[in-house]
């Protein structure tokens, strides 16, 4: 389903209990709100255009800016305030997935040669 946004539009292509996959079309010179996701990672893959991802870091007093161009990818950690800023018209994919998927391994021993 497509939804209009103040910055462009979003279309959810896949949604289940483990992942959300959206196509986003962002108009040049716009940005989304500064926001955070309590339990979800937020990933961005730029198909075309120039998009900044601004992240207000929790561990230190700094806002990191990652510039994404065609073919670039980045992620935002759960609990960190962030927003995107479009310098051109942008086509991108936005992916949400829960924290639990990335931190699910507990090692009892170290592998190696027998």
pLDDT of residue 59: 79
| Number of other residues whose CB lies within 10 A of the CB of residue 68 | 19
Instruction: Give the model confidence (pLDDT) of 21-68 as tens digits.
Output: 999 999 999 999 999 999 999 999 999 999 999 999 987 888 999 999
pLDDT at 20 over 90: yes
pLDDT of residue 50: 98
Q: 3-class SS at 25? A: strand
Structure tokens given for 17: 């209990």
Q: Is the pLDDT of residue 102 over 60?
A: no
Cα-atom radius of gyration of the chain, to the nearest Å?
Answer: 16
pLDDT at 101 over 80: no
Contact 51, 86 (CB under 8 A): yes
């Amino acid at each position: 389903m497509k939804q209009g946004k103040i910055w462009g539009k979003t279309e959810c292509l896949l949604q289940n209990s483990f992942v959300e996959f959206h196509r986003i079309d962002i108009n040049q010179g716009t940005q989304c709100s500064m926001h955070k996701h309590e339990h979800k990672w937020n990933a961005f893959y730029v198909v075309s255009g120039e998009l900044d991802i601004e992240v207000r870091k929790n561990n230190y007093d700094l806002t990191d800016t990652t510039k994404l161009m065609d073919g670039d990818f980045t992620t935002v950690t759960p609990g960190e305030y962030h927003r995107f800023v479009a310098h051109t018209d942008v086509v991108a994919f936005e992916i949400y997935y829960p924290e639990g998927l990335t931190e699910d391994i507990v090692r009892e021993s170290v592998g190696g040669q027998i």
